[in-house]
Amino acid sequence: MSVKSKNSAKPWTDPDDAPELTEADMLRGTWQVAGVPVTAKEGKALAKAAWRGRPIGSVKDHHKMPTTLRLDEDVLQRWRASGKGWQTRAAALLAAHAPIEPSIEPSADTGV
């Protein structure tokens, strides 16, 4: 009498159960870019260049803060019509005309 054979498929192993790579494992490997072997120095440089996100050091210590500024519609249209970079140019103009020290007296415009 024939006996039904058991399923020969290997049991699934969770990839998270794989052992961590050690430095020795990394030394045995070879760097390849598009299937072409490269030196470790070249591979690391290319990997760094391909890194996604903001480049290291691109975030300044003095960064810009988002704000809301109410402008007349025609003024805003003229700034936007001036082309790409209009916000940077507007910020530079505001910075050039900003008071050096904040005024202590109430503003005549707002009554505050």
Q: Which domain holds residue 89?
A: 69-98
Give the residues of the chain that fall short of pLDDT 50. none
DSSP state, residue 17: G
- Residue 41 corresponds to which tokens in the numbers above? 């120095």
Judge whether 104 lies within some domain. Answer: no
Residue 75 lies in a domain: yes
**Model pLDDT, residue 84:** 94
**What integer pLDDT is reported at residue 68 of this predicted model?**
92
In a domain, 45, yes or no: no
In-domain check, residue 73 = yes
- Give residue 110's pLDDT: 59
Assigned domain for 55 exists: no
pLDDT value for 1: 57
Give domain status of residue 23, yes or no. no
In the chain, the number of structural domains is 1
Whether residue 81 lies inside any domain: the answer is yes
Q: Contact 30/37 with Cβ under 8 angstroms? A: yes
Residue 87 domain-assigned (yes or no): yes
pTM of the model: 0.40
Contact (CB, 8 A) for 55 and 48: no
